[in-house]
Amino acid sequence: MDSSDSGADGAAPLRRLPPPARLYLPLLQHQGEPARPCVEIGQQVAKGQCLGRAAGELSAPVHAPTSGRVVAIVERDIGHASGRALPCIELEPDGQERWQRLTPWPDWYRRRPNELLSRLAEAGVTGLGGASYPTAAKLALAPSMPNLGDAAAATCDLPEPTSPPAPVPARIETLIINAVECEPWIGCDDALLRAHPDQVLAGAALLGHVLGAARVLIAVDSDLGDARQALAATLDGALAGSRPAHATTTDTTSGPRPDHRVPGSVAGKNLSPDPGQEASALAGLPAAVLQPLAIVPVSGRYPQGGERQLVHTLTGHALAAGRWPREVGVACVNVGTAAACWRAVASGEPLVERIVTVTGPGVRSPVNLVAPLGTPVADLVAAAGGYSERAARLVLGGPMMGRALANDGVPLGKSGNCILVLAAAPAGDDQVMPCIRCGECARVCPSKLLPQQLHFHLQARQWPRAAALGLADCIECGLCAQVCPSRIPLLAWFQHGKGELAWQQRSAVQAEAAQQRHQLRQQRLDRDAADQAQRLRAREQVTPDPGAGPLPPAVAAALARARARGKSPADAPQDSPSA
């Protein structure tokens, strides 16, 4: 992508942030295992070059967001849930933006899903909506994608699969592209829709192709009229001008598509990105891959942007904890992720930048930025005009589920959708009172839980009781804590409770494993002891053998004493190496 991302309409302008003086690239920007560094300190790297390889099935590589020199690998606060400092690759940009791309595949629709999946894994694409689950791994879980573990595990030095397996019948009916902003304040999806509707559509078509989805629903917040119009106009334009795949489909594609028709043309309003700058991502695509696409407005009321809420609204499937959209033939991908997938495939760009909203009463001029990953929050805030006097709390993510950061040296990661700088809360606002059982929390809970009861049992450390009340069904939306008149940090309790339960389950598993290991070791020790005894007996029988010569009298005596004690002195120190 080139440097012109400005010019989009919208609440906050979309601007491109040049690389700051230093970038800090966390090796863990995704769910799963941290990447393993594959560069050396002092090494010059190109933009897009791999800095850390994926470590295992559930992991993602990390690439250089710009060309420059690797200065160090440092431990740094990255705003991780654990609060720990985690290793980051410190990069000094050289200002040259020297690219090293993967091979662009503009004809991606001719490629097999497996190839495309390995490309997504190789490009380090993860969910940009917040959870940051490696996208290839997520898609590989779809029922239509058996045995794609290799694709999900592909790292940046793996060769592309030479003989991809035959395509399997698709069983994902519906792919939902989630363009409903997950929380108030966040505007990065909106900004993307306005600036690059073509990339969103191409990404949606690409993922629909990968999954073999019968329909691809792009769910847009109904309040985002402009963005939706831009999207619809782009789709209509593409369908009108697209290359017919078969003669038979021509008629249907050129006809009016009521789904996408929006009254009034928006072409004159310059809502689409300047066509001169960049060829449309949809240029030359066959109509067949655009056919399944449909744009659906949904109410943007929080937490509608949540995956489960969206699946429920659009398909009617209510999912309990532990059940996944894929089990009902639905996949859900964030809109930014879809665009990133398209760039990774069609332009060969690894995921090295993302759109982040910098906003709140604590910044002077709120803005949407296309920022290189690894940019410290301080630089992002500076790009938004700096802190205002009211700045008092720094939040990574949205107001409901975001994490308060202790300092602004935290680097932007793949999941960083928003930097929110809030003003000070009124004094005494944090006074926690006892629960008055007003039931407000239960009224607002989208999962229909009873937060007050959950809280009661968590406080009493009755974990199983809390689990029985559906703790796992809590989607951590934070609404209950927001409305609680007693200001009980309910969300924090639930996160704590979930962590505690997971830990207990893990320790139960570990205890069992340890038990097994102990038993195995005991068996092995017994066996070793038996072997030893047998060897000893064998040696005793062998000892008189003339070839071995007679034992010295002292040794023979010692042996005799030891035998009398029932133990060979030679065994004693050798007991442990087998452990």
Spatial neighbors of 526 by CB under 8 A, at least 6 apart, are none
Rounded Cα gap, residues 19 and 92, in angstroms: 9
Question: Which residues face 37 on adjacent strands?
Answer: 52
In the list ligand SF4, another protein, none, the entry touching 28 (Cβ below 5 to 8 angstroms by class) is: none
Question: Element (H or E) spanning 478, and its range?
Answer: none
Q: How far is CA 578 from CA 426, 527, 570, in A?
A: 64, 11, 15
With CB cut-offs between 5 and 8 Å by kind, which of ligand SF4, another protein, none does residue 429 bind?
another protein
Q: Which is nearer to ligand SF4, 428 or 544 (by Cβ)?
A: 428
357 φ, ψ to 5°? -90, 130
Name which of 52 and 446 has its Cβ closer to another protein. 446
Reference 397, options 375, 412, 379, 387; nearest CA is 412
User: How far apart (Å, rounded) are the C-alpha atoms in residues 446 and 471?
Assistant: 13
Cis, peptide link before residue 303, omega less than 30° from 0: yes
* Residue 227 main-chain phi, psi, to 5 deg: -60, -40
The entry of ligand SF4, another protein, none that residue 451 binds, CB within 5 to 8 Å by partner kind: ligand SF4
In terms of CB distance, is 85 or 433 closer to another protein?
433
The whole-angstrom separation of Cα 570 and Cα 77 is 53
Task: Using the structure block, give the residue that is written with the tokens 């133990």.
Answer: 567
List, in order, residues 6 or more apart from 301 with CB less than 8 Å away: none
Look at residue 351 and give the partner it binds from another protein, ligand SF4, none, a contact being a CB closer than 5 to 8 Å depending on partner kind.
Answer: none
The two tokens of residue 141 are 């879980």
Q: Tell me how far, at minimum, the Cβ of 326 lies from another protein, in Å.
A: 15
Closer residue to ligand SF4, CB minimum distance, 272 or 447: 447
Binding partner of 455, given another protein, ligand SF4, none, CB within 5-8 angstroms per partner class: ligand SF4
Strand partners, 239: none
The C-alpha atoms of residue 266 and residue 194 are separated, in whole angstroms, by: 12
Which of 102, 469 has the CB closer to another protein? 469
Interface residue list for another protein (CB under 8 A): 184, 308, 312, 318-321, 323, 378, 387, 392-395, 397, 399-409, 420, 422-423, 425-426, 428-431, 433-440, 442-443, 446-450, 452-453, 469-470, 473, 478-479, 481-487, 489, 491-492
Q: Is the Cα dihedral 29, 358, 195, 100 positive or negative?
A: negative
Structure token pair of residue 505: 């389950």
Shortest Å distance, C-beta 129 to another protein: 17
Rule CB under 6 A: which residues touch ligand SF4?
Answer: 435-441, 444-447, 449, 451-452, 455, 474-480, 483-486, 488, 490-491, 494
CB 220 within 8 A of CB 229: no
Binding-site partner at residue 542 among ligand SF4, another protein, none, CB < 5 to 8 Å by type? none
User: At closest approach, how far in Å is the CB of 428 from another protein?
Assistant: 8
Q: Which does 406 bind (CB under 5 to 8 A by kind): another protein, ligand SF4, none?
A: another protein
- Check if the beta carbon of residue 175 is closer than 8 Å to that of residue 78: no
Query: How many residues does the structure list for the chain?
Result: 579
Could you tell me the smallest distance in angstroms from the CB atom of residue 418 to ligand SF4?
Answer: 18
Q: How far is the CB of 250 from another protein (least distance, A)?
A: 43
Of the pair 41, 321, the CB lying nearest ligand SF4 is at 321
Nearer to another protein, 425 or 558 (CB): 425
Q: Which is nearer to ligand SF4, 52 or 325 (CB)?
A: 325
Residue 494 interaction partner, one of ligand SF4, another protein, none, beta carbon < 5-8 Å per kind:
ligand SF4
User: Least separation, in Å, of the C-beta of 221 and another protein?
Assistant: 19
